């Protein structure tokens, strides 16, 4: 057993985490789907809904349970195996640091549990938008108490705290807004997690890479049951949990390295998450322009606008996957050590260009 542990390297560990989390989510999702009716977690057809029969929206339980089960087991395994690993394995030095990150991990888990519980309650009782927004802000409090906040090139701590609250709440709502078609939020989240996992790996952040890999595996396992035609929805509990975790993990990760001649790599999360942020901003703009409540649901999302152009719902989802991948891959260039300012600006321009193309596509389609 000690020889096996001593032979572990990071690619092997990441593969175990990816396959393990995907398998757990794949097995657990149908189980929690059957709990939808007894728990009162059903999405009824009608109105702006496109499904014809009641659908369980208990998938968020599978996402939350899978992610934290795999993370919890991994933490326990790392602590137990510390003596066996010693200096022999490539993973040894990092595994011995696991106990030191437990306080911050506990803060992240506390916020995740809170936002998950709020989402479950919203799935059952439909909270008022103002109440939901307040609860989302509360979810960030454990992070701030654990000194988890945006610090890159910000001289004032209070500014970093405000930016952290705004960023995490923005992503919570972005993925909640994005969850409007089968497999959309989960698929985009998986692509984002994969790209950020690779960026963290290249930056030498092994534990952050592991967290993104677990999220990727969890979403892939869930997506097997959520892609069109979906058999279960993630609900607000799953969408808000997903947005919260990606918000927190992007705050914890490091994107700027000393020696790089530009600070633009700190924009990496904005670029990787460009599509969800574009959807949120465009929807809010349309609602504001039409004088409707900003948090009132409608069919003006990016995916709906693509369907209005003549795409089928599954085709619109796949199209958004591809746009997300194209935009996110540009962020990989920001991590190059030989990156120049001109190259970084080119990546930013490419991202904006993609969004302009989408906007023009929609405008021409309406004509």
Residue 142 has pLDDT above 90, yes or no: yes
User: Mean pLDDT in the chain?
Assistant: 85
Residue 237 resides in a domain: yes
Residue 351 resides in a domain: yes
Residue 17 resides in a domain: no
Provide mean pLDDT across the span 265-269: 83
Residue 16 has pLDDT above 80, yes or no: yes
Residue 40 resides in a domain: no
Q: What is the pLDDT of residue 252?
A: 93
Number of structural domains, the chain? Answer: 1
Is-above-0.75 flag for pTM?
A: yes
Q: What is the pLDDT of residue 49?
A: 62
Residue 201 resides in a domain: yes
Please tell me the least confidently modeled range out of 84-93, 228-237, 247-256.
Answer: 84-93
Residue 24 has pLDDT above 50, yes or no: yes
The band of 68, judged by pLDDT with boundaries at 50, 70 and 90, is very high
Residue 180 resides in a domain: yes
Residue 333 has pLDDT above 80, yes or no: no
The band of 309, judged by pLDDT with boundaries at 50, 70 and 90, is confident
The domain of 300 spans: 102-366
Provide mean pLDDT across the span 129-148: 96
Percent of the chain with pLDDT over 70: 83
Please tell me the least confidently modeled range out of 160-174, 210-224, 239-253, 317-331.
Answer: 317-331
> Which ranges of the chain does DSSP label H, i.e. alpha helix?
2-6, 10-33, 59-80, 82-85, 92-95, 98-125, 129-145, 157-178, 184-202, 206-226, 235-252, 268-272, 274-289, 302-308, 313-333, 341-366
Q: Is 231 exposed, middle or buried, given 0-12, 13-18 or 19+ CB atoms closer than 10 A?
A: middle
Pairing of strands 55-56, 42-43: antiparallel
Residue 15 resides in a domain: no
């Amino acid at each position: 057993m000690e020889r096996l542990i001593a032979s572990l390297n990071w690619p092997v560990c990441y593969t175990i985490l990816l396959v393990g989390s995907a398998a757990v989510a794949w097995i657990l999702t149908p189980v929690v789907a059957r709990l939808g009716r007894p728990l009162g977690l059903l999405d009824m057809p009608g109105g702006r809904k496109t499904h014809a029969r009641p659908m369980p929206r208990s998938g968020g339980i599978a996402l939350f349970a899978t992610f934290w089960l795999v993370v919890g087991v991994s933490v326990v395994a790392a602590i137990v195996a510390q003596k066996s690993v010693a200096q022999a394995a490539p993973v040894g030095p990092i595994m011995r640091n696991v106990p030191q990150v437990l306080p911050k991990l506990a803060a992240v888990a506390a916020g995740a549990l809170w936002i998950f519980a709020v989402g479950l309650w919203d799935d059952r009782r439909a909270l008022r938008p103002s109440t939901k927004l307040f609860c989302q802000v509360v979810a960030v409090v454990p992070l701030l108490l654990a000194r988890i906040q945006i610090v890159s090139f910000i001289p004032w701590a209070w500014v970093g705290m405000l930016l952290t609250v705004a960023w995490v709440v923005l992503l919570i709502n972005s993925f909640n807004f994005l969850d409007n078609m089968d497999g959309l939020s989960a698929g985009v989240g998986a692509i984002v997690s994969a790209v950020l996992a690779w960026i963290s790996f290249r930056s030498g952040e092994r534990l952050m890479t592991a967290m993104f890999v677990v999220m990727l595996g969890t979403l892939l396992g869930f997506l097997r049951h959520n892609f069109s035609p979906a058999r279960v929805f993630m609900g607000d509990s799953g969408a808000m949990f997903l947005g919260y975790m990606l918000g927190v993990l992007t705050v914890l990760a490091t994107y700027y390295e000393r020696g790089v001649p530009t600070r633009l790599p700190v924009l990496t999360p904005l670029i990787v998450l460009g599509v969800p942020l574009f959807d949120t901003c465009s929807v809010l703009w349309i609602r504001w322009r039409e004088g409707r409540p900003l948090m009132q649901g409608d069919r003006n999302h990016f995916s709906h606008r693509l369907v209005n152009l003549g795409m089928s719902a599954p085709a619109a989802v796949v199209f958004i996957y591809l746009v997300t991948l194209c935009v996110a891959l540009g962020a990989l260039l920001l991590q190059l050590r030989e990156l120049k300012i001109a190259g970084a600006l080119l990546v930013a321009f490419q991202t904006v260009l993609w969004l302009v193309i989408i906007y023009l596509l929609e405008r021409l389609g309406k004509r």
